[in-house]
Amino acid sequence: MLIGDINFVALARLPKTMTNDEQDTILIEDNTRVREWDVDQNFDGWRLDKFLENRIGNISRTYAGEIAKHGDVEVHPPRKIKAGTFLREGDRVVVREHLDPEWVQDPQVDVLHRDDAIIVLNKPAGMLIHEIGPTRLNTIEKFLERQGWDEAQPGHRLDKETSGVVVCAACDETKHAVHQLFKDRKVDKTYRALVLDDQERWIPGREETLDTPLGQDNDSLLRHKVGQGDTRAVTHVKVLGRIDGPDGPMADLEIDLETGRQHQIRAHLALEGTPIAGDKLYSKSDRFFQAISDYPDRQELKERLAFDRQALHAWRIAFPHPESGDTVEFEAPLPDIWQRD
Protein backbone atom coordinates (compact mmCIF):
# COMPACT_ATOMS: atom_id res chain seq x y z
CA MET A 1 0.00 0.00 0.00
CA LEU A 2 1.72 3.20 -1.17
CA ILE A 3 0.23 5.95 0.94
CA GLY A 4 3.16 8.37 1.18
CA ASP A 5 2.49 9.43 -2.41
CA ILE A 6 -1.10 8.39 -2.00
CA ASN A 7 -1.62 5.67 -4.64
CA PHE A 8 -4.31 4.53 -2.20
CA VAL A 9 -6.01 1.57 -3.83
CA ALA A 10 -9.24 1.98 -1.90
CA LEU A 11 -10.02 4.98 -4.10
CA ALA A 12 -9.09 3.50 -7.44
CA ARG A 13 -7.45 0.47 -8.97
CA LEU A 14 -4.20 1.22 -10.74
CA PRO A 15 -4.71 2.31 -14.37
CA LYS A 16 -4.68 -0.50 -16.92
CA THR A 17 -1.72 0.60 -19.02
CA MET A 18 -2.46 0.92 -22.73
CA THR A 19 0.17 -0.44 -25.08
CA ASN A 20 1.51 1.84 -27.77
CA ASP A 21 1.58 -0.77 -30.53
CA GLU A 22 1.15 1.17 -33.76
CA GLN A 23 -1.59 3.34 -32.31
CA ASP A 24 -1.27 7.06 -31.76
CA THR A 25 -1.15 7.56 -28.01
CA ILE A 26 0.72 9.88 -25.68
CA LEU A 27 2.02 9.00 -22.21
CA ILE A 28 1.33 11.67 -19.58
CA GLU A 29 3.62 11.28 -16.57
CA ASP A 30 2.08 13.88 -14.25
CA ASN A 31 -1.21 12.39 -13.13
CA THR A 32 -2.56 13.80 -9.89
CA ARG A 33 -6.22 13.79 -8.94
CA VAL A 34 -7.01 16.67 -6.57
CA ARG A 35 -10.10 16.58 -4.37
CA GLU A 36 -11.18 19.57 -2.31
CA TRP A 37 -13.99 19.93 0.20
CA ASP A 38 -15.23 22.85 2.29
CA VAL A 39 -16.18 22.03 5.85
CA ASP A 40 -19.69 23.33 6.49
CA GLN A 41 -21.75 23.32 9.68
CA ASN A 42 -22.69 19.66 9.18
CA PHE A 43 -19.06 18.63 9.68
CA ASP A 44 -18.05 21.16 12.33
CA GLY A 45 -16.14 19.36 15.08
CA TRP A 46 -15.56 16.16 13.08
CA ARG A 47 -12.24 14.31 13.18
CA LEU A 48 -10.30 14.37 9.90
CA ASP A 49 -10.40 10.57 9.48
CA LYS A 50 -14.18 10.50 9.90
CA PHE A 51 -14.53 13.39 7.44
CA LEU A 52 -12.36 11.64 4.80
CA GLU A 53 -14.29 8.40 5.27
CA ASN A 54 -17.51 10.32 4.59
CA ARG A 55 -16.27 12.43 1.67
CA ILE A 56 -14.18 9.84 -0.20
CA GLY A 57 -16.61 6.96 0.30
CA ASN A 58 -16.11 3.20 0.11
CA ILE A 59 -13.17 3.22 2.52
CA SER A 60 -12.92 2.28 6.20
CA ARG A 61 -12.24 4.70 9.03
CA THR A 62 -8.90 2.95 9.59
CA TYR A 63 -7.89 3.46 5.98
CA ALA A 64 -9.04 7.08 6.09
CA GLY A 65 -6.79 7.51 9.11
CA GLU A 66 -3.82 6.11 7.17
CA ILE A 67 -4.50 8.62 4.39
CA ALA A 68 -4.65 11.44 6.93
CA LYS A 69 -1.35 10.40 8.56
CA HIS A 70 0.70 9.41 5.51
CA GLY A 71 -1.03 10.82 2.44
CA ASP A 72 -0.78 14.12 0.60
CA VAL A 73 -3.41 15.92 2.68
CA GLU A 74 -3.75 19.60 3.61
CA VAL A 75 -6.15 21.42 5.91
CA HIS A 76 -6.62 25.17 5.56
CA PRO A 77 -6.06 27.24 7.64
CA PRO A 78 -2.79 25.21 7.94
CA ARG A 79 -2.14 23.13 11.05
CA LYS A 80 -0.64 19.78 12.00
CA ILE A 81 -2.32 16.89 10.20
CA LYS A 82 -3.22 13.64 11.93
CA ALA A 83 -6.17 11.27 11.94
CA GLY A 84 -7.64 12.98 14.99
CA THR A 85 -7.31 16.55 13.73
CA PHE A 86 -10.57 18.32 14.52
CA LEU A 87 -12.15 20.33 11.71
CA ARG A 88 -13.96 23.61 12.05
CA GLU A 89 -16.67 25.19 9.91
CA GLY A 90 -14.95 27.18 7.16
CA ASP A 91 -11.94 24.85 6.87
CA ARG A 92 -10.93 23.48 3.48
CA VAL A 93 -9.54 19.93 3.08
CA VAL A 94 -7.38 19.03 0.08
CA VAL A 95 -6.37 15.48 -0.87
CA ARG A 96 -4.01 14.71 -3.75
CA GLU A 97 -4.07 11.21 -5.22
CA HIS A 98 -0.91 10.49 -7.21
CA LEU A 99 -1.79 8.03 -9.97
CA ASP A 100 0.40 6.11 -12.37
CA PRO A 101 1.30 7.70 -15.72
CA GLU A 102 -1.55 7.31 -18.20
CA TRP A 103 -1.70 6.82 -21.95
CA VAL A 104 -4.12 9.16 -23.71
CA GLN A 105 -5.60 8.90 -27.21
CA ASP A 106 -5.49 12.60 -28.12
CA PRO A 107 -3.91 12.06 -31.57
CA GLN A 108 -6.83 9.78 -32.49
CA VAL A 109 -9.49 12.43 -31.78
CA ASP A 110 -10.67 14.26 -34.89
CA VAL A 111 -12.19 17.73 -34.69
CA LEU A 112 -15.12 17.58 -37.13
CA HIS A 113 -16.31 21.15 -36.49
CA ARG A 114 -15.60 24.07 -34.20
CA ASP A 115 -17.25 27.47 -33.85
CA ASP A 116 -17.93 29.89 -31.00
CA ALA A 117 -20.84 27.80 -29.69
CA ILE A 118 -20.04 24.12 -30.30
CA ILE A 119 -17.17 21.72 -30.86
CA VAL A 120 -17.93 18.43 -32.61
CA LEU A 121 -15.46 15.58 -32.19
CA ASN A 122 -14.96 12.05 -33.50
CA LYS A 123 -14.14 10.03 -30.36
CA PRO A 124 -12.02 6.89 -30.69
CA ALA A 125 -13.09 3.65 -29.04
CA GLY A 126 -11.34 3.25 -25.69
CA MET A 127 -11.69 6.87 -24.60
CA LEU A 128 -14.13 7.95 -21.90
CA ILE A 129 -16.23 11.10 -21.89
CA HIS A 130 -15.65 11.89 -18.18
CA GLU A 131 -13.14 10.47 -15.72
CA ILE A 132 -14.15 7.44 -13.70
CA GLY A 133 -12.21 5.17 -11.36
CA PRO A 134 -8.55 4.94 -12.33
CA THR A 135 -9.04 6.65 -15.70
CA ARG A 136 -8.50 10.37 -15.16
CA LEU A 137 -6.76 11.70 -18.26
CA ASN A 138 -7.91 9.61 -21.24
CA THR A 139 -11.24 11.41 -21.51
CA ILE A 140 -12.90 13.86 -23.87
CA GLU A 141 -13.29 16.28 -20.95
CA LYS A 142 -9.52 16.33 -20.33
CA PHE A 143 -8.79 16.36 -24.08
CA LEU A 144 -10.70 19.64 -24.35
CA GLU A 145 -8.64 21.08 -21.50
CA ARG A 146 -5.38 19.97 -23.11
CA GLN A 147 -6.37 21.81 -26.31
CA GLY A 148 -6.75 25.01 -24.32
CA TRP A 149 -10.56 25.01 -24.65
CA ASP A 150 -11.02 25.50 -20.92
CA GLU A 151 -14.72 26.36 -21.00
CA ALA A 152 -15.68 23.51 -23.35
CA GLN A 153 -17.72 20.62 -21.98
CA PRO A 154 -19.15 17.42 -23.52
CA GLY A 155 -22.90 17.69 -24.05
CA HIS A 156 -23.75 13.99 -23.76
CA ARG A 157 -22.30 10.57 -23.07
CA LEU A 158 -20.97 7.79 -25.28
CA ASP A 159 -19.81 4.38 -24.05
CA LYS A 160 -16.06 3.92 -23.69
CA GLU A 161 -15.86 1.32 -26.46
CA THR A 162 -18.22 3.17 -28.80
CA SER A 163 -16.56 5.50 -31.30
CA GLY A 164 -18.04 8.42 -33.17
CA VAL A 165 -19.63 11.85 -32.91
CA VAL A 166 -19.54 13.75 -29.62
CA VAL A 167 -21.05 17.26 -29.41
CA CYS A 168 -19.51 19.67 -26.91
CA ALA A 169 -20.47 23.13 -25.75
CA ALA A 170 -17.61 25.47 -26.67
CA CYS A 171 -18.13 27.99 -23.87
CA ASP A 172 -20.00 28.64 -20.64
CA GLU A 173 -22.71 30.58 -22.48
CA THR A 174 -23.80 27.56 -24.57
CA LYS A 175 -23.47 24.75 -22.02
CA HIS A 176 -27.09 24.92 -20.93
CA ALA A 177 -28.39 25.16 -24.49
CA VAL A 178 -26.39 22.15 -25.67
CA HIS A 179 -27.42 20.00 -22.69
CA GLN A 180 -31.04 21.06 -23.21
CA LEU A 181 -30.97 19.88 -26.84
CA PHE A 182 -30.25 16.35 -25.65
CA LYS A 183 -32.61 16.54 -22.69
CA ASP A 184 -35.47 17.70 -24.95
CA ARG A 185 -34.61 15.01 -27.54
CA LYS A 186 -34.07 17.53 -30.32
CA VAL A 187 -31.03 15.59 -31.54
CA ASP A 188 -31.25 12.95 -34.29
CA LYS A 189 -28.54 10.31 -33.86
CA THR A 190 -27.74 7.52 -36.31
CA TYR A 191 -25.42 4.66 -35.42
CA ARG A 192 -23.69 1.90 -37.34
CA ALA A 193 -23.17 -1.55 -35.90
CA LEU A 194 -21.60 -4.82 -37.00
CA VAL A 195 -23.45 -7.74 -35.42
CA LEU A 196 -22.70 -11.45 -35.24
CA ASP A 197 -25.28 -13.10 -37.49
CA ASP A 198 -24.54 -16.64 -38.63
CA GLN A 199 -28.29 -17.41 -38.90
CA GLU A 200 -28.93 -14.55 -41.37
CA ARG A 201 -31.40 -12.82 -39.08
CA TRP A 202 -30.65 -9.58 -40.90
CA ILE A 203 -31.17 -9.59 -44.69
CA PRO A 204 -29.87 -6.61 -46.73
CA GLY A 205 -32.61 -4.09 -47.45
CA ARG A 206 -34.79 -5.09 -44.51
CA GLU A 207 -36.06 -2.39 -42.17
CA GLU A 208 -37.41 -3.32 -38.76
CA THR A 209 -38.35 -1.77 -35.42
CA LEU A 210 -37.29 -3.41 -32.15
CA ASP A 211 -39.52 -2.42 -29.27
CA THR A 212 -38.89 -4.96 -26.51
CA PRO A 213 -39.19 -3.08 -23.18
CA LEU A 214 -35.89 -3.00 -21.30
CA GLY A 215 -34.74 -3.06 -17.69
CA GLN A 216 -32.15 -4.65 -15.46
CA ASP A 217 -31.35 -8.21 -16.49
CA ASN A 218 -32.46 -10.11 -13.40
CA ASP A 219 -30.95 -13.36 -14.72
CA SER A 220 -27.48 -11.83 -14.91
CA LEU A 221 -24.76 -11.81 -12.28
CA LEU A 222 -23.98 -8.25 -13.34
CA ARG A 223 -26.05 -5.38 -11.94
CA HIS A 224 -25.39 -3.06 -14.88
CA LYS A 225 -26.47 -5.52 -17.58
CA VAL A 226 -29.71 -4.70 -19.39
CA GLY A 227 -32.31 -7.24 -20.51
CA GLN A 228 -36.05 -7.50 -21.04
CA GLY A 229 -37.95 -5.30 -18.60
CA ASP A 230 -40.75 -2.78 -18.25
CA THR A 231 -39.31 0.45 -19.71
CA ARG A 232 -40.35 1.46 -23.22
CA ALA A 233 -37.47 1.27 -25.69
CA VAL A 234 -37.69 1.66 -29.48
CA THR A 235 -34.84 1.01 -31.91
CA HIS A 236 -35.17 1.34 -35.71
CA VAL A 237 -32.89 -0.93 -37.75
CA LYS A 238 -32.00 -0.86 -41.45
CA VAL A 239 -29.80 -3.61 -42.88
CA LEU A 240 -27.11 -2.18 -45.17
CA GLY A 241 -25.27 -5.38 -46.02
CA ARG A 242 -23.38 -8.43 -44.83
CA ILE A 243 -19.68 -8.89 -44.09
CA ASP A 244 -17.45 -11.91 -43.51
CA GLY A 245 -15.97 -11.17 -40.11
CA PRO A 246 -13.20 -12.80 -38.07
CA ASP A 247 -15.82 -14.71 -36.04
CA GLY A 248 -18.05 -15.57 -39.00
CA PRO A 249 -20.83 -13.80 -40.89
CA MET A 250 -21.81 -10.32 -39.71
CA ALA A 251 -24.53 -7.86 -40.67
CA ASP A 252 -23.89 -4.14 -41.13
CA LEU A 253 -26.76 -2.20 -39.56
CA GLU A 254 -27.87 1.42 -39.61
CA ILE A 255 -29.66 2.26 -36.36
CA ASP A 256 -31.85 5.16 -35.25
CA LEU A 257 -33.05 5.56 -31.69
CA GLU A 258 -36.56 6.68 -30.84
CA THR A 259 -35.80 6.35 -27.13
CA GLY A 260 -32.47 6.56 -25.34
CA ARG A 261 -32.21 3.86 -22.69
CA GLN A 262 -28.96 2.67 -21.17
CA HIS A 263 -27.29 0.12 -23.48
CA GLN A 264 -30.42 0.18 -25.65
CA ILE A 265 -28.82 -0.74 -28.97
CA ARG A 266 -26.55 -3.36 -27.45
CA ALA A 267 -29.33 -4.97 -25.42
CA HIS A 268 -31.93 -4.97 -28.21
CA LEU A 269 -29.56 -6.58 -30.69
CA ALA A 270 -28.40 -9.16 -28.13
CA LEU A 271 -32.04 -10.08 -27.40
CA GLU A 272 -32.43 -10.77 -31.14
CA GLY A 273 -29.60 -13.29 -30.94
CA THR A 274 -27.27 -11.00 -32.90
CA PRO A 275 -25.01 -9.19 -30.39
CA ILE A 276 -22.64 -6.47 -31.52
CA ALA A 277 -19.30 -7.96 -32.56
CA GLY A 278 -16.66 -7.42 -29.90
CA ASP A 279 -19.17 -6.52 -27.18
CA LYS A 280 -17.62 -7.96 -24.02
CA LEU A 281 -20.83 -7.63 -22.01
CA TYR A 282 -23.53 -8.82 -24.41
CA SER A 283 -21.78 -11.17 -26.86
CA LYS A 284 -20.34 -13.51 -24.22
CA SER A 285 -21.23 -14.91 -20.80
CA ASP A 286 -21.21 -13.00 -17.52
CA ARG A 287 -18.20 -15.05 -16.42
CA PHE A 288 -16.30 -14.02 -19.53
CA PHE A 289 -17.06 -10.34 -18.89
CA GLN A 290 -15.83 -10.64 -15.31
CA ALA A 291 -12.67 -12.41 -16.45
CA ILE A 292 -11.72 -9.92 -19.17
CA SER A 293 -12.53 -6.99 -16.88
CA ASP A 294 -10.04 -8.36 -14.35
CA TYR A 295 -7.46 -9.45 -16.95
CA PRO A 296 -7.91 -7.18 -19.99
CA ASP A 297 -4.51 -8.03 -21.49
CA ARG A 298 -4.88 -11.82 -21.30
CA GLN A 299 -4.46 -13.01 -24.88
CA GLU A 300 -6.64 -16.13 -24.65
CA LEU A 301 -9.58 -13.96 -23.58
CA LYS A 302 -9.00 -11.29 -26.24
CA GLU A 303 -8.87 -13.96 -28.94
CA ARG A 304 -12.46 -14.96 -28.15
CA LEU A 305 -13.72 -11.57 -29.35
CA ALA A 306 -14.28 -10.56 -32.97
CA PHE A 307 -12.60 -7.19 -32.33
CA ASP A 308 -10.74 -5.52 -29.49
CA ARG A 309 -13.63 -3.03 -29.18
CA GLN A 310 -17.37 -3.24 -29.71
CA ALA A 311 -18.35 -2.55 -33.32
CA LEU A 312 -20.74 0.30 -32.51
CA HIS A 313 -20.16 3.74 -34.02
CA ALA A 314 -22.04 7.01 -33.51
CA TRP A 315 -22.12 7.78 -37.23
CA ARG A 316 -24.28 10.84 -37.86
CA ILE A 317 -25.91 13.55 -35.78
CA ALA A 318 -28.26 16.45 -36.58
CA PHE A 319 -29.64 19.17 -34.30
CA PRO A 320 -30.59 22.86 -34.22
CA HIS A 321 -27.49 25.00 -33.77
CA PRO A 322 -27.73 26.51 -30.24
CA GLU A 323 -27.14 30.04 -31.56
CA SER A 324 -28.66 30.25 -35.05
CA GLY A 325 -31.36 27.60 -34.69
CA ASP A 326 -30.48 26.25 -38.14
CA THR A 327 -30.20 22.47 -38.46
CA VAL A 328 -26.59 21.30 -38.62
CA GLU A 329 -25.44 17.78 -39.49
CA PHE A 330 -22.15 16.01 -38.87
CA GLU A 331 -20.78 12.60 -39.80
CA ALA A 332 -17.86 10.68 -38.29
CA PRO A 333 -16.03 8.43 -40.79
CA LEU A 334 -16.38 4.71 -40.16
CA PRO A 335 -13.52 3.02 -38.27
CA ASP A 336 -11.20 0.62 -40.04
CA ILE A 337 -13.04 -2.46 -38.75
CA TRP A 338 -15.73 -1.71 -41.34
CA GLN A 339 -13.15 -2.06 -44.12
CA ARG A 340 -13.20 -5.81 -44.65
CA ASP A 341 -11.69 -7.60 -47.66
Domain ranges of the chain: 26-102, 105-338
CB burial readout 9-19, b (16+ within 10 A) else e: eebbeebeebe
Model pLDDT, residue 186: 95
Q: Strand 153-154 to strand 163-169: parallel, antiparallel, or no bridges (unpaired)?
A: antiparallel
Active-site residue numbers?
159
18: pLDDT strictly greater than 50:
no
Angle at 116 between CA 166 and CA 332, to 5 degrees: 25
264: pLDDT strictly greater than 50:
yes
289: pLDDT strictly greater than 90:
yes
* Low-confidence winner among 102-106, 130-134, 216-220, 267-271 (lowest mean pLDDT): 130-134
281: pLDDT strictly greater than 50:
yes
Model pLDDT, residue 10: 35
- Residue-wise pLDDT for 89-127, tens only, equals 999 999 999 999 999 999 999 999 999 999 999 999 999
Task: Report the C-alpha gap between 143 and 183 in whole angstroms.
Answer: 24
78: pLDDT strictly greater than 70:
yes
pLDDT band at 341 (very low <50, low <70, confident <90, very high): low
Q: Strand 110-114 to strand 102-104: parallel, antiparallel, or no bridges (unpaired)?
A: unpaired
The highest-level CATH class for domain 105-338 is alpha beta
CATH number of this structure's domain 26-102: 3.10.290.10
The domains spanning 26-102 and 105-338 adopt the same CATH topology: no
- Residue-wise pLDDT for 30-47, tens only, equals 999 999 999 999 999 999
CB pairs under 8 A, 24+ apart, for 171-175? 171/116, 171/117, 173/117, 174/117, 174/118, 174/322, 174/323
Which residue, among 272, 277, 275, 278, has the nearest Cα to 201 in the 3D structure?
272
Model pLDDT, residue 152: 97
Are the CB atoms for 196 and 274 separated by under 8 Å? yes
20: pLDDT strictly greater than 50:
no
Task: Report the C-alpha gap between 194 and 295 in whole angstroms.
Answer: 25
- Quick one: DSSP state of residue 132? B
9: pLDDT strictly greater than 60:
no
Give me the mean pLDDT over the 175-187 stretch: 95
Angle at 329 between CA 139 and CA 164, to 5 degrees: 30
Alpha-carbon distance values, 38 to 58, 68, 164, 307 (Å)? 20, 16, 38, 46
179: pLDDT strictly greater than 50:
yes
